[in-house]
């Protein structure tokens, strides 16, 4: 990119990915895992993370082969000036749809749970404007915001889990492998594309100084997400039991409402949800940045910033298209997740092409000059 | 004035503004102030004359080599002409500050000379004892017989003048600069050169106590308005020949001295160059204090949070210099500007290091909590009371409802009213002179609070919220940061009032995004917590001093280590190492 965007370190990158993925825990993702694994949902969470790690390996390999380059530059160099930008456009379209689904999903969640009188358009416009602002300040700012807000967001999740522990019935976590090993394994494989958002890191790959930073960010981010998801669904199933947990549309909110530490600390879900809003905004900002940067790269624009506002306007308008919350969920579950595999296939394809065609970045100088 | 004219003036007030009434503005094309134009023309002529003279002499000196070029100026060999032009430059005799003393130096034959200095800026004892006496009396004993002109100047400089710093100036601008700095100028008949003797004695107060950054445990000296004194206070703490003081001048009219201090081989040269570049780029009439210069060199002058640190403590300045920072001392300002600064440095005090590390860390945690309370408490209160009363325990909720019942205003109006009153008390307390300021503030807050509750304008809980918020804002050690937090508090309050916790969350998010994208001289504003690699040290907590082996990595200091890896090497329990001493 032409404008200065700064750099993302390994710590910031991993926290960014963790927040991008982890924010889904506040939505329906725990419900998906329970539907796959039942009492063994926590094992499904770990399996999903494991599969996600495997699927992210081509991204890591590309990061090492093309340090300091983003998806747009890599695809153009590897797949040529026609096919490369088309691949980038396809990926950016998926990220854009992920952004609009996120926007609508969080909006519906907040409206249903804590702000029933607020028009969804207010939430959508607020979220879009803030994500534009964050993306405008640069992907470095988004990653650093994720790191700075991590204690708050983690507290929002951890406090719920810790305060819910007294209600956990460990017998509800058995039998091991829940509905059966095969079903848990196959279900986990289906949801492995949950980690497809790791493509965001490749899209902003120019912000990583080297392949090692990208590797640490990708793998640590997915691993942290897997652990957080396992802990969340374990507590959820331990309290509600698999049948009830599978039907709960807002599992973590359900847990938050149960928090009661005497009469002094009660009904704190509104405060806790406030922390989740921060996670949602980080996810949205990261997706918006990645979409705009990929688009600008594919279209060979010198800067991505002019795209942000039009992009946000289009996404906000499109996010209102699904007629209801169920339509949003179906879009996410039946289209976005399966297409996530296709998105993750792009880095694999690029890596194979790079290996076959012997393409790699110049060993030094160019990447460093680009990044600075 | 005739009766008719008086009547007309009474009927038409506009006619009272006659052409002879005083006004600074012009009244039509014929009203140009001829005096002002003439003065500007004379000034321009003086400067042009000096410039042309210099150009002529430059052309003459070019064939004579480098030494001759250095001596090129616009001073004349005619003493009367020099004095006359300098007096013109200083607008004498209208300007009474320029003192002229014509003397005869007691050589054989006597040499005519003129001594010039500025009233009030120079030390008259030095002038009398070290200049006038040697020139007029003691030189007689030396039986000097110099030739007229340069030879006489050589003799005077080397054998008669007892000043500890004597320099030569060849042009009127340099002479004027020296005079305005408080030096005394000696012009000798027949020589196109001026001798400048150091006699500076500007009015200064003595070193006093810190006014804002007081400590209980630690030194109690603070900077004053003389930047040289401030530099000395720092140098007293850093007895290292690598400590460099560069002198820069800013302000076309104020010609303010700015001392730039750094430790060579520790401070990154790129930082030093950047600070120098920014200061030298300031092209304004007047720079009257560190707060003004700060606005010119800050990375984000529109930010509500300062990106440079202003301190009045020499010990703190010395500590920052030893970490690789650059300090700027603006003459007439009792502060140093530390470049760069991070967000966390604004929450730190010198005392954090003087106390044992657990106490220092606790103090920092308290201050951070104070920051959060000061920023968020009013918004949280409004969010809970207006949008989520279910969060409040039932008994407390009932009490709040009962106490708010007689108050006719919405909670946010109540809160804003109290906040504004609190700011009024704070401002009035700061402006009331002398020791009665704090007393008046205390009395006002007590009386007004009690009266407001009894008048049922505010509820007691609101008094508590505002008082705790105000107390927390006083716990913030940095004055500018305190201002920023106060304004941000109002912004967050506005957002919470309109959107509830959603507004508060979005406000916090925007604030964090903005803060993380800030930089101070290339250093991430939230470093070392965000934006750097490695372990986070010395930000929210104070690590033990013996564990602070390295300088802050975000400063990219040339010398990474500030102490040996094992400082307590006398302690058998301390880990021993074979690595050589890396300190310094």
pLDDT confidence of residue B28: 59
Interface test with B, best of A270, A278, A285, A286 (most B CBs within 10 A): A270
Q: Does A87 touch chain B (CB under 8 A)?
A: no
The mean pLDDT value for A11-22 works out to 95
pLDDT confidence of residue B27: 60
- Regarding predicted confidence, which is higher, B481 or B12? B481
Kindly tell me if the per-residue pLDDT of B488 is higher than 90.
yes
pLDDT tens sequence across A356-372: 988 887 654 444 433 33
Those residues whose C-beta lies under 8 Å from the C-beta of residue B583, and which sit 6 or more positions away, are B561, B562, B563, B564
CA distance B290 to B295: 9
pLDDT confidence of residue B233: 96
Taking CB atoms within 8 Å and a gap of at least 24, the contacts of B214-220 are B215/B349, B215/B350, B215/B351, B215/B354, B216/B351, B217/B351, B217/B354, B217/B355, B218/B315, B218/B350, B218/B351, B218/B354, B219/B313, B219/B314, B219/B315
pLDDT tens sequence across B187-209: 999 999 999 999 998 888 899 99
Kindly tell me if the per-residue pLDDT of A254 is higher than 80.
yes
- Regarding predicted confidence, which is higher, B107 or A42? A42
pLDDT category, B107, cuts 50, 70, 90? confident
pLDDT confidence of residue B432: 79
Q: Does A327 touch chain B (CB under 8 A)?
A: no
Q: Which of A138, A149, A267 sits opposite B512 (nearest CB)?
A: A149
Kindly tell me if the per-residue pLDDT of B310 is higher than 50.
yes
Q: Does A285 touch chain B (CB under 8 A)?
A: yes
Q: Does B529 touch chain A (CB under 8 A)?
A: yes
The mean pLDDT value for B212-227 works out to 91
Domains of chain A: 7-361 (1.20.1740.10)
Query: Buried (b) or exposed (e) across B215-253, using 16+ Cβ within 10 A?
Result: beebbeebbbbbbbbbbebbeebbeeeebebeebbbbee
Interface test with A, best of B500, B530, B540 (most A CBs within 10 A): B530
The mean pLDDT value for A272-287 works out to 91
- Regarding predicted confidence, which is higher, A212 or B579? A212
> Which of A254-263, B38-47, B359-368 is predicted most confidently?
B359-368
List chain B residues with CB under 8 Å of A281.
505-506, 509
Q: Which of B509, B517, B532 sits opposite A281 (nearest CB)?
A: B509
List chain A residues with CB under 8 Å of B532.
9
List chain B residues with CB under 8 Å of A133.
510, 513
Report which secondary-structure segment, H or E, holds B194. Answer: strand B194-197
List chain A residues with CB under 8 Å of B505.
274-275, 277-278, 281
pLDDT tens sequence across A219-244: 999 999 999 999 999 999 999 888 88
pLDDT tens sequence across A116-155: 888 888 899 999 999 999 999 999 999 999 999 999 999 8
pLDDT tens sequence across B136-158: 988 888 787 777 878 888 888 88
Do A290 and A198 meet the contact criterion of CB atoms below 8 Å apart?
no
Tell me how close the Cα of A243 comes to any Cα of chain B, in angstroms: 29
Do A274 and B504 meet the contact criterion of CB atoms below 8 Å apart?
yes
Dihedral angle of Cα B77, B80, B81, B83, to the nearest 10 degrees: 110
Q: Which of B508, B514, B530 sits opposite A278 (nearest CB)?
A: B508
Q: Cα–Cα distances in Å, from B347 out to B343, B371, B439, B538?
A: 7, 9, 27, 11
Cα(first)–Cα(last) distance of chain A, in Å?
11
The mean pLDDT value for B351-372 works out to 93
| Alpha helices (H) along B94-138 | 124-126, 133
Those residues whose C-beta lies under 8 Å from the C-beta of residue B329, and which sit 6 or more positions away, are B223, B227, B230, B231, B258, B259, B260, B261, B336, B337
The mean pLDDT value for A338-367 works out to 84
| C-alpha A116, offset from chain centre | 26
List chain B residues with CB under 8 Å of A270.
387-388, 390-391, 501
Nearest to B240 by CA among B562, B488, B14: B562
Nearest C-alpha in B relative to A285: B513
- Regarding predicted confidence, which is higher, A175 or B17? A175
Token digits of residue B352? 């954090």
pLDDT confidence of residue A366: 43
pLDDT confidence of residue B31: 56
Report which secondary-structure segment, H or E, holds B111. Answer: strand B111-118
Tell me how close the Cα of A246 comes to any Cα of chain B, in angstroms: 28
Contact pairs from chain A to chain B, CB under 8 Å = 95
Nearest to A127 by CA among A150, A153, A109, A112: A109
CA distance A217 to A10: 5
Per cent of chain A over pLDDT 70 is 95
Do A71 and A213 meet the contact criterion of CB atoms below 8 Å apart?
no
A88-92, B60-64, B433-437, B516-520: segment of lowest average pLDDT? B433-437
B168 in helix, strand or coil?
strand
């Amino acid at each position: 990119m032409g404008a200065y965007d700064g750099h993302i370190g390994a710590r910031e990158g991993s926290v960014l990915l963790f927040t991008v993925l982890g924010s889904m825990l506040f939505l329906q993702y725990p419900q998906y895992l329970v539907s796959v694994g039942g009492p063994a949902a926590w094992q499904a969470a770990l399996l999903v993370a494991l599969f996600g790690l495997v699927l992210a390996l081509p991204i890591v390999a590309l990061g090492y082969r093309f340090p300091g380059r983003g998806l747009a530059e890599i695809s153009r160099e590897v797949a040529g000036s026609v096919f490369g930008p088309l691949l980038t456009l396809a990926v950016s379209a998926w990220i854009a749809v992920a952004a609009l689904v996120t926007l609508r999903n969080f909006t519906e969640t907040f409206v249903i749970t804590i702000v029933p009188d607020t028009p969804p358009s207010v939430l959508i416009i607020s979220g879009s404007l803030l994500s534009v602002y964050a993306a405008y300040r640069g992907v470095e700012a988004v990653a650093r915001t994720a790191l700075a807000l991590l204690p708050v967001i983690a507290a929002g999740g951890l406090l719920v889990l810790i305060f819910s522990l007294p209600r956990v019935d460990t017998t509800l976590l058995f039998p091991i492998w829940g509905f059966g090993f095969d079903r848990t394994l196959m279900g986990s494989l289906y949801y492995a594309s949950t980690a497809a958002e790791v493509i965001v890191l490749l899209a902003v790959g120019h912000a990583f100084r080297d392949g090692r930073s990208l590797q640490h960010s990708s793998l640590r981010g997915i691993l942290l997400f897997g652990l957080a998801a396992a802990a969340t669904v374990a507590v959820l199933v331990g309290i509600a039991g698999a049948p009830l947990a599978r039907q709960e549309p807002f599992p973590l909110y359900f847990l938050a409402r149960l928090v009661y530490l005497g009469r002094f600390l009660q009904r704190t879900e509104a405060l806790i949800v406030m922390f989740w809003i921060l996670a949602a905004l980080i996810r949205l900002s990261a997706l918006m940045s990645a979409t705009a940067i990929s688009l600008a790269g594919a279209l060979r624009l010198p800067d991505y910033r002019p795209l942000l506002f039009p992009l946000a306007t289009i996404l906000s308008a499109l996010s209102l298209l699904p007629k209801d919350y169920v339509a949003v969920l179906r879009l996410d579950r039946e289209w976005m997740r399966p297409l996530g595999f296709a998105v993750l296939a792009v880095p694999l394809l690029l890596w194979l092409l790079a290996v076959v065609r012997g393409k790699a970045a110049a060993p030094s100088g160019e990447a460093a000059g680009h990044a600075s | 004035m005739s009766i008719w004219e008086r009547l007309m003036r009474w009927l038409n007030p506009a006619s009272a503004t006659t052409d002879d009434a005083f006004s600074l503005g012009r009244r039509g094309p014929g009203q140009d102030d001829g005096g002002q134009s003439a003065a500007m023309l004379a000034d321009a002529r003086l400067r042009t004359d000096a410039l042309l003279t210099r150009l002529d002499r430059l052309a003459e000196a070019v064939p004579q080599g480098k030494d001759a070029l250095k001596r090129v100026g616009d001073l004349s060999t005619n003493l009367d002409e020099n004095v006359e032009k300098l007096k013109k430059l200083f607008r004498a005799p209208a300007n009474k500050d320029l003192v002229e003393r014509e003397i005869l130096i007691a050589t054989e034959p006597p040499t005519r000379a003129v001594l010039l200095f500025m009233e009030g800026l120079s030390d008259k004892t030095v002038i009398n004892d070290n200049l006038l006496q040697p020139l007029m009396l003691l030189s007689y004993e030396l039986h000097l017989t110099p030739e007229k002109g340069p030879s006489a100047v050589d003799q005077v400089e080397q054998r008669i003048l007892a000043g500890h710093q004597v320099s030569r100036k060849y042009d009127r601008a340099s002479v004027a600069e020296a005079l305005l700095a408080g030096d005394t100028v000696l012009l000798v008949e027949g020589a196109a050169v001026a001798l400048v003797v150091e006699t500076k004695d500007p009015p200064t107060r003595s070193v006093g106590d810190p006014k804002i950054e007081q400590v209980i445990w630690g030194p109690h000296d603070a900077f004053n308005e003389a930047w040289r004194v401030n530099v000395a206070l720092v140098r007293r703490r850093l007895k290292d020949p690598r400590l460099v003081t560069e002198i820069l001048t800013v302000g076309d009219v104020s010609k303010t001295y700015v001392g730039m201090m750094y430790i060579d081989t520790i401070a990154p040269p790129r930082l030093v160059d950047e600070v120098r570049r920014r200061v030298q780029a300031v092209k304004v009439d007047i720079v009257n204090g560190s707060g003004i210069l700060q606005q010119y060199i800050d990375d984000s002058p529109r930010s509500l949070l300062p990106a440079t640190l202003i301190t009045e403590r020499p010990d703190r300045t010395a500590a920052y210099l030893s970490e690789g920072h650059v300090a700027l001392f603006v003459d007439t300002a009792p502060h140093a500007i530390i470049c760069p600064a991070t967000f966390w440095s604004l929450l730190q005090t010198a005392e954090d290091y003087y106390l044992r590390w657990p106490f220092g860390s606790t103090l920092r945690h308290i201050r951070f909590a104070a920051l959060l309370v000061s920023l968020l408490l009013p918004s949280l209160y409004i969010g809970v009371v207006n949008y989520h009363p279910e969060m409040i325990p039932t008994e407390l909720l009932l009490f709040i409802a009962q106490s708010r019942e007689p108050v006719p205003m919405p909670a946010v109006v109540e809160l804003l009213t109290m906040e504004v009153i609190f700011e009024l008390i704070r401002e009035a307390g700061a402006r009331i002179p002398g020791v009665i300021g704090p007393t008046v503030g205390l009395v006002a807050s007590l009386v007004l609070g009690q009266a407001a509750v009894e008048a049922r304008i505010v509820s007691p809980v609101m008094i508590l919220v505002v008082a705790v918020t105000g107390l927390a804002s006083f716990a913030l050690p940095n004055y500018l940061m305190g201002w920023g937090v106060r304004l941000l508090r109002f912004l967050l309050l506005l957002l919470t009032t309109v959107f509830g916790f959603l507004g508060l969350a979005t406000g916090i998010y925007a604030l964090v995004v903005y803060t993380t994208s800030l930089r101070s001289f290339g250093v991430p504003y939230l470093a070392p917590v965000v934006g750097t690699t490695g372990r986070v040290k010395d930000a929210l907590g104070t690590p033990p001093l013996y564990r602070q082996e390295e300088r802050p990595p975000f400063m990219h200091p040339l010398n990474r280590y500030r102490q040996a890896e094992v400082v307590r090497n006398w302690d058998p329990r301390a880990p021993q190492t074979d690595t050589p001493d890396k300190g310094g």
